[in-house]
Amino acid sequence: MVSHRSMIVTMVNTLNVLANARKSRGDRRPKVSRGVQMKQRGVFEKVPGSGIWWIRYFDQFGKKRREKAGSKSVAIKLYGKRKQQVLEGKKLPELFRKPSVNFTQLVDDALAYSKRNKRSYKTDVPRFASLKEWFGAHPAEELTPREIENKLTKAAEKEKWAPSTFNHYRSLMSLSYRLGILNRRVTSNPARSVTHRREDNNRVRFLTEEEEKNPRKVVRDKWLAHLPELDLAINTGLRKGSQYGLTWDMVDWKSRELHIPRTKNEEPLHVPLNNAAISALKAVFESGDGKGRVFTSAKTGEPLENGRHWFDDAVVEAKLKNSHGHDLRHTFASRLRTKGAALEDIADLLGHKSLTMTRRYAHLGPNKLHAVVSLLGPSDPTSDTGQTGQAATTSQVAVQ
């Protein structure tokens, strides 16, 4: 009879032979006993026996993530969903998103940028403050072009903005979002879809010498200290930013010129000074210390940013309609043109890069076009033939 010992040895040897056979043919299927479930990749029960299952995976940035799912079947489905989202590069679930950024945070970044890089920083500050008031609490990603346009339109109607003012606000919002995209705070720029208002750059409102008398009288009577500002503007045509950004080291008394290193179009500008402009600068120089900025507040000593307070008052008292500070620049160019100055020379004085803008003043100069069209008129002004002398002769020959 075969002993129990020999039977056991035989069984062990048989099992070893079978195992070796599986290895040799590459059969690595795990042994699974009946009633035992296989492990699911990425799914685990954090506390064995709790019935609460979790998933574990790596996101598109290679960071390990864990999520509580619930039952095992739910965990398996959720794991598959997350893997698909990672594969497609979609956003991760709300649980893992960065905290939402409100518009105020975008404005703060844009203000810092403006201070470092923009010459218009001081005028940007109050406009950014208004944008904060209107949109600051909104999540930046949730603002829509329609919301932005509606708010800016209402403000424009209430404050009677010019189209250029609307566009400035739109540009500041767009800047805020562009920087937000660069800083990975937001993913899109809704301000880009806000309609750009067409600006009337051909508007030329200038003061005639007769119109100038009344506001000049108001300035002399109420704002005498600011009279040199009026005289310099009318006799140089400087932009507001250039005039109120003047420092005494830009004034060349010997050559009678202003040397402005940087203007609105990023180019230097050399402005010749006539007698009236020299007198205006001397009046300011003699009343101050001749250091730093040319135009400063008599009360605080701080640099002036514009002459709106005195000019607007003078315009109102003089009962001038539709007149703004920039009209003094138009006045300078228009008067030069009416006295026969060439458009090219006016463009140089104004700092225009091309004649496109300067052509607004073309119609004010000597009109040579009358002489041109008269070439086609009758040689005798009383004639009603509508033909030149030569044309009439030719016609008569043809009839004969």
Residue 54 CA to residue 364 CA, distance in Å, equals: 82
CA distance 388 to 9: 134
Write the pLDDT tens digit of every residue in 203-254. 678 888 899 999 999 999 999 999 999 999 999 999 998 999 999 999 999 9
Pull the structure tokens for residue 4: 């129990």
Query: Which letter, b or e, does each residue of 362-398 get, where b requires 16 or more Cβ atoms within 10 Å of its Cβ?
Result: eebbeeeeeeeeeeeebeeeeeeeebbeeebeeeeee
DSSP 256: T
- Per DSSP, the three-state class of 388 is coil
pLDDT at 264: 80
Domain range 103-193, CATH architecture: Orthogonal Bundle (1.10)
CA-to-CA distance for 27 and 25, rounded, in angstroms? 6
Q: How many residues does the chain have?
A: 400
- Burial of residue 305 (CB within 10 Å: 0-12, 13-18, 19+) is middle
d(CA 218, CA 224): 9
Instruction: Say what the pTM is.
Output: 0.57
Contact 206, 327 (CB under 8 A): yes
Q: Order of strands, edge to edge, in the sheet holding 257-260? A: 251-252, 257-260, 269-272
pLDDT digits (tens, 9 = 90+) for 143-186: 999 999 999 999 999 998 888 899 999 999 999 999 999 998 99
What is the predicted pLDDT for the residue at 146?
94
Q: Is 155 exposed, middle or buried (0-12, 13-18, 19+ CB in 10 A)?
A: middle
Question: How many alpha carbons lie under 13 Å from residue 23 in its C-beta half-sphere?
Answer: 6
Amino acid making up residue 195? T
Q: How many helices (H) and strands (E) does the chain have?
A: 15, 6
Query: So what's the pLDDT on residue 214?
Result: 92
- What would the pLDDT profile of 57-86 be if each residue is shown by its tens digit? 887 767 788 898 889 999 999 999 888 888
| Yes or no: domain 209-364 corresponds to CATH 1.10.443.10 | yes
Which of 2-6, 29-33, 130-134, 271-275 has the lowest average pLDDT? 29-33
pLDDT at residue 192, rounded to an integer: 94
Is pLDDT larger for residue 33 or for residue 300? 300
Instruction: Delimit the domains of the chain by residue range.
Output: 4-25+40-96, 103-193, 209-364, 369-400
Q: What is the mean pLDDT of residues 356-367?
A: 80
Degrees to nearest 5, angle at CA 172 with 167 and 177: 125
